[in-house]
Chains A and B, each alone.
Chain A
């Protein structure tokens, strides 16, 4: 698989480490009411769709940036690559 890095252009997926579902960015508030259940769901449960999947890849053997890759789990086709930083900021995260 080739991941089209937003800054570096097309890179072999072998340069990356895979983490999984991009929802891992959305860490719940650990001090809120019901935080134990929310954190359990965040850490352990996954959507795991057959089809389009947004997922986190880390460019370990490159510029060490985190990417959100939109990829089809049935065909392995990659349709979109974003910097995870931009995705997090769009959700209102400051850093």
Chain B
């Protein structure tokens, strides 16, 4: 059933009796051509593009819980393509372009809102770095502009411009960046995939992989064996656990990242603001809550909940940037498990097992990448060749010295 304004009017006049479940709830078949492990944003997007753009059939998505119950339902909803390095920026700009056409494409309101994102800078050196990043973005077809102090003040007069240690000197602005309704992205892709014949199988945990003579034959699950010609794994924080079934150790650690939302407030922040001195970023949801976050907790964790010191650290960042936030009460905090890679950049690649493919290492930047991650993973699955914007996301880049390290931190996942 396609959604449209006409449909809403028709249903309103007929007592809303025509709405049907948004997707089917099929039992797993004995085998598929493609099995996608992980029913989060990336897995659902992969299945959707595999079916729609690459015209493949007999596809299943296996999800151990419910669709969109992992990081796609736990993030701070920011979309942007303001990366510096060659290996990253074309990919994220491709993702940005997909965000711009996504809702029409899958006929679902994902509330994509290009409200603009600013990265503040506080020193002359940081202005130079922001200018360089902006130039890199423009060279790859993205938009970027440098705002001076007065332009930032006109937008956000309540920021602390005269902090003795970190005065605000301006910002790098990407006007096409913004936010999206995170759950609706998962739901939109799920519905779109279902409409193209993909079986979305929930409460189906992968417990093993059947591999013979270096080739994958299928996956063992809590709902029985599911055969597959190709298996694509997109399970974020659980990457190491799932790929261990194939005997792999990954260049990934799982860390917990917390996010926060305040009580609902009147309109205050109409874009996205990131602090250049501490790690703090904030936007305001359409319901009015300030949505913000900071650093990961910094130690390996699968707990989906964090500890108080990071909450204090984020609160300090918020108070340093915008003292006005001190009057708002914190409504909720939550945590998600991030697949932190060794250079802070993702992996979309084949493995040593024929027919087994991996998509992960998204650190805490996976949400904005959702559409391009799905598209590029589908491209790899369907054609066995990496998409042109994802050629650098290989396992062997660490062995070859081709790490894509935006922050220059080296193989210390908790610092990316």
Q: Contact residues of A with B, CB < 8 Å?
A: 1, 13-14, 18-21, 36-37, 40-41, 43-50, 53, 55, 71, 73-76
Q: Contact residues of B with A, CB < 8 Å?
A: 238, 240-241, 249-254, 298-303, 307, 309, 342, 398-399, 411-414
A13 to B241, CA, bound (A): 26
Residues of A near B299 (CB, < 8 A) are: 13, 18, 55, 71
A46 touches B303 (CB 8 A): no
Residues of B near A21 (CB, < 8 A) are: 253, 300
Residue of A nearest to B298 (CB): A18
B240 touches A46 (CB 8 A): yes
Q: What is the total of A-B residue contacts with beta carbons within 8 Å?
A: 70
A76 to B256, CA, bound (A): 11
B250 touches A45 (CB 8 A): yes
**Given that A1-B307, A18-B414, A76-B303 are known contacts, is A40 also in contact with B399, CB under 8 Å in the complex?**
yes
A53 touches B300 (CB 8 A): yes
13 A-B pairs with CB atoms under 8 Å apart are A18-B298, A20-B413, A20-B414, A21-B300, A41-B249, A44-B342, A44-B399, A48-B241, A48-B250, A48-B253, A71-B299, A76-B303, A76-B307
Residue of B nearest to A39 (CB): B399
**Given that A44-B398, A74-B302 are known contacts, is A20 also in contact with B253, CB under 8 Å in the complex?**
yes
Residue of B nearest to A40 (CB): B399
Given A14-B309, A75-B303: 12 more A-B contacts, CB < 8 Å: A20-B300, A21-B253, A36-B399, A41-B249, A43-B342, A44-B342, A48-B240, A48-B254, A50-B238, A55-B300, A76-B301, A76-B307
**Given that A18-B299, A76-B301 are known contacts, is A46 also in contact with B251, CB under 8 Å in the complex?**
yes
**Given that A73-B301, A74-B302, A75-B303 are known contacts, is A47 also in contact with B254, CB under 8 Å in the complex?**
no
Secondary structure at chain B's binding surface: helix, strand, loop or mixed? Answer: mixed
A40 to B251, CA, bound (A): 10
Residue of B nearest to A36 (CB): B399
A45 touches B251 (CB 8 A): yes
B241 touches A50 (CB 8 A): yes
In the assembled complex, the CB of A72 is this many whole angstroms from the nearest CB of chain B, namely 9
Residues of B near A13 (CB, < 8 A) are: 299, 307, 309
A45 to B252, CA, bound (A): 7
B250 touches A46 (CB 8 A): yes
Q: Which of A14, A44, A48 contacts B411 (CB 8 A)?
A: A44
The 9 tightest CB contacts between A and B, nearest first, are A48-B240, A44-B398, A50-B302, A45-B249, A44-B251, A18-B299, A40-B399, A44-B342, A73-B300
In the assembled complex, the CB of A37 is this many whole angstroms from the nearest CB of chain B, namely 7
Q: Which of B252, B298, B301, B309 contacts A46 (CB 8 A)?
A: B252
B302 touches A37 (CB 8 A): no
A73 to B305, CA, bound (A): 11
Residues of A near B241 (CB, < 8 A) are: 48-50
In the assembled complex, the CB of B395 is this many whole angstroms from the nearest CB of chain A, namely 10
In the assembled complex, the CB of B408 is this many whole angstroms from the nearest CB of chain A, namely 16
In the assembled complex, the CB of A53 is this many whole angstroms from the nearest CB of chain B, namely 6
In the assembled complex, the CB of B401 is this many whole angstroms from the nearest CB of chain A, namely 10
Residue of A nearest to B241 (CB): A50
Q: Which of B254, B301, B303, B399 contacts A37 (CB 8 A)?
A: B399
In the assembled complex, the CB of B107 is this many whole angstroms from the nearest CB of chain A, namely 38
Residues of B near A44 (CB, < 8 A) are: 251, 342, 398-399, 411
Interface core residue of B251, B253, B299, B302 (most chain A CB under 10 Å):
B299
B398 touches A40 (CB 8 A): yes
Residues of B near A41 (CB, < 8 A) are: 249
In the assembled complex, the CB of B361 is this many whole angstroms from the nearest CB of chain A, namely 11
